[in-house]
């Protein structure tokens, strides 16, 4: 056993069974053994056998500790930026009009294909480190800016390399059905055939943890989405969906039929969609960065999701077109101000529910048996995580039991 003791802290465990807001435990202690937590509780209850005198002790001087934050929806690997389109949109051109005119996702596809793998890795690593500095310990990364077998593979390989090079858990999602590449113009169904074939190849190479589709009038239809989901099911891979972001396509209900881990965006989600998600247990991943940056005015149906007990997660949706966001804490604040989340819902959304949206059961709370991924904050109360804007109160990040040295998360 290689025990270490973290004590004199206030834990926001997010354990519902404690029946405390945030699962709070004051004057708490945690015992870490290797990569995992083996004991979490009030310091006075700590068994002496778990606190041998030779074990290193970390006195946190009353600081707040939360589980490591989980950003469960990003498109982190891409070339170029789209600041020019931001300017166009500010002058009144819509996101959809830009996409229809061949800009949007397609312009990032061109820049991504033109970039070397080293450049893609270097840029994605810098972005990942921005998120990590604010306590992110697990990150999902979608492909979807390659749109050919070779380029989708490269993006997924870059995502896997990030997980190897950085003290960070990385989950990859294949999003070949993100947009129609120009070489398939007018042949969307043929493209979906190709996407299904690539999926089998890339899954065979161990590059795919989940499968996503952009189901939208500017992207792929419900029938096309179903075909990709069937291919995923045949390979035993879980699915997720970019659903009802710009219009109600009934995507969430379809995804629910396939037991989707999550449906994401959801501004135009109908009542039927909410009910279908509640039945399937899919997580609603809400993305206030994209809502804000696209100057969307239609709110996702938060009250209905709450009433039906659909778990809600939050993510950065980091991408160059609709959400150039590199602060997950800012998403907590925006979810409270724009979506009327409570600060507790916001923290659950980037811990417990973020883990669930990725199908991960070994993280998201502070409890014995979980991975020792946690963050020490220079804060008194967890509601401050949603409160401050532009301040980074993150003091120490621990991933799989190891404190992350400052080097890997500074540039």
Asked whether the beta carbons of 141 and 212 are under 8 A apart, the reply is no
- Residues with Cβ < 8 Å from 238, sequence gap 6 or more? 209, 210, 211, 232, 259, 260, 261, 359
Candidate list 67, 103, 104, 238; residue touching ligand NIG; CB under 6 A: 104
Q: Which two tokens stand for residue 20?
A: 């405390």
**Residue nearer to Fe ion on the CB measure, 172 or 383:** 172
- Is residue 296 close enough to count as binding ligand NIG by CB under 6 A? no
DSSP-assigned states of every residue in 393-404: -EEEEEETTEEP
Q: Which does 214 bind (CB under 5 to 8 A by kind): Fe ion, ligand NIG, none?
A: ligand NIG
Q: Which does 58 bind (CB under 5 to 8 A by kind): Fe ion, ligand NIG, none?
A: none
- Is residue 106 close enough to count as binding ligand NIG by CB under 6 A? no
- Residues with Cβ < 8 Å from 91, sequence gap 6 or more? none
> Does an H or E element contain 29, and which?
strand 24-33
Q: Please, what is the Cα angle at 173 between 221 and 268, to 5 degrees?
A: 40
Q: Which does 105 bind (CB under 5 to 8 A by kind): ligand NIG, Fe ion, none?
A: ligand NIG
Shortest Cβ contact with Fe ion: which residue? 317
Measure the CA–CA gap between 31 and 307, rounded to whole angstroms: 37
Candidate list 28, 32, 65, 105; residue touching ligand NIG; CB under 6 A: 105
Shortest Cβ contact with ligand NIG: which residue? 321
- Is residue 348 close enough to count as binding ligand NIG by CB under 6 A? no
Contact set for Fe ion, span 306-345 (CB under 5 A)? 317
Contact set for ligand NIG, span 60-79 (CB under 6 A)? 75
**Residue nearer to Fe ion on the CB measure, 58 or 265:** 265
Contact set for ligand NIG, span 203-222 (CB under 6 A)? 214
Q: Which does 382 bind (CB under 5 to 8 A by kind): ligand NIG, Fe ion, none?
A: none
Measure the CA–CA gap between 394 and 384, rounded to whole angstroms: 12
Q: Which does 23 bind (CB under 5 to 8 A by kind): ligand NIG, Fe ion, none?
A: none
Contact set for ligand NIG, span 353-392 (CB under 6 A)? none
Q: Which does 212 bind (CB under 5 to 8 A by kind): Fe ion, ligand NIG, none?
A: none
The least CB distance from residue 245 to ligand NIG, in Å, is 5
Stretch that binds ligand NIG, among 196-204, 229-237, 313-321, 395-403 (CB under 6 A): 313-321
The least CB distance from residue 321 to ligand NIG, in Å, is 2
- Residues with Cβ < 8 Å from 325, sequence gap 6 or more? 289, 293, 316, 317, 318, 331
- Is residue 225 close enough to count as binding ligand NIG by CB under 6 A? no
- Residues with Cβ < 8 Å from 231, sequence gap 6 or more? 195, 196, 199, 200, 211
Over the window 273 to 312, marking each residue x when it contacts Fe ion by CB under 5 A and - when it does not, the resulting string is: ----------------------------------------
Asked whether the beta carbons of 156 and 207 are under 8 A apart, the reply is yes
The least CB distance from residue 218 to ligand NIG, in Å, is 9
Q: Which does 321 bind (CB under 5 to 8 A by kind): ligand NIG, Fe ion, none?
A: ligand NIG
The least CB distance from residue 109 to ligand NIG, in Å, is 9
Strand partners, 173: 142, 210
Measure the CA–CA gap between 226 and 251, rounded to whole angstroms: 9
Residue found by looking up tokens 């970019």 in the block: 242
**Residue nearer to ligand NIG on the CB measure, 77 or 394:** 77
Measure the CA–CA gap between 229 and 220, rounded to whole angstroms: 12
User: Buried b vs exposed e over 118-146: b needs ≥16 C-beta within 10 Å?
Assistant: eebbebbbebbbbbbbbbbbbbbbbbbbb
CA-based nearest residue to 359, from 401, 311, 316: 311
Contact positions vs ligand NIG (CB under 6 A): 75, 104-105, 108, 214, 242, 245, 290, 317, 319-323
Contact positions vs Fe ion (CB under 5 A): 317
């Amino acid at each position: 056993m290689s025990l270490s003791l973290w004590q004199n802290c206030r834990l926001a465990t997010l354990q519902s069974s404690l029946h405390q807001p945030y699962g709070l435990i004051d004057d708490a202690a945690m015992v870490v053994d290797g990569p995992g937590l083996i004991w979490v509780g009030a310091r006075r209850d700590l068994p002496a056998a778990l606190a041998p005198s030779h074990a290193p002790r970390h006195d946190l001087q009353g600081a707040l500790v939360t589980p490591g934050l989980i950003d469960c929806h990003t498109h982190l690997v891409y070339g170029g930026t789209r600041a020019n389109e931001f300017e166009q949109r500010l002058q009144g051109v819509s996101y959809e009009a830009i996409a229809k005119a061949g800009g949007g996702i397609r312009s990032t596809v061109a820049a991504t294909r033109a970039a070397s793998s080293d450049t893609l890795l270097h840029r994605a690593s810098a972005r990942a480190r921005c998120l990590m500095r604010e306590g992110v310990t697990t990150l999902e990364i979608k492909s979807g800016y390659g749109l050919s077998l070779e380029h989708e593979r490269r993006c997924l390989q870059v995502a896997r390399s990030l997980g190897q090079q950085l003290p960070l858990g990385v989950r990859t999602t294949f999003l070949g059905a993100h947009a129609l590449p120009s070489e398939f113009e007018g042949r969307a169904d043929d493209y979906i055939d190709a996407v299904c074939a690539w999926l089998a190849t890339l899954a065979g190479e161990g590059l795919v943890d989940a499968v996503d589709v952009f189901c939208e009038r500017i992207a792929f239809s419900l029938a096309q989405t179903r075909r990709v989901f069937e291919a995923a099911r045949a390979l035993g891979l879980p699915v997720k969906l970019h659903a009802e972001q710009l219009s109600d396509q009934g995507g969430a209900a379809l995804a629910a039929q396939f037991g989707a881990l999550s449906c994401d965006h959801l501004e135009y989600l109908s009542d039927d969609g909410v009910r279908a998600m509640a039945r399937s247990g899919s997580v609603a991943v809400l993305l206030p960065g994209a809502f804000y940056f696209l100057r969307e005015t239609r709110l996702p149906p938060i009250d209905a999701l709450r009433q039906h007990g659909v778990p809600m997660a939050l993510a950065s949706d980091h991408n160059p077109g609709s959400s150039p966001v590199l602060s997950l804490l800012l998403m907590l604040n925006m979810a409270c101000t724009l979506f009327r989340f409570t600060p507790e819902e916001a923290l659950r959304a980037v811990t417990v529910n973020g883990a669930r949206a990725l199908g991960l059961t070994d993280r998201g709370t502070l409890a014995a048996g979980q991975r020792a991924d946690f963050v020490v904050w220079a804060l008194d109360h967890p509601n401050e995580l949603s409160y401050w804007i532009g301040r980074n109160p993150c003091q120490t990040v621990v991933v799989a039991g190891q404190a992350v040295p400052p080097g890997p998360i500074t540039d």
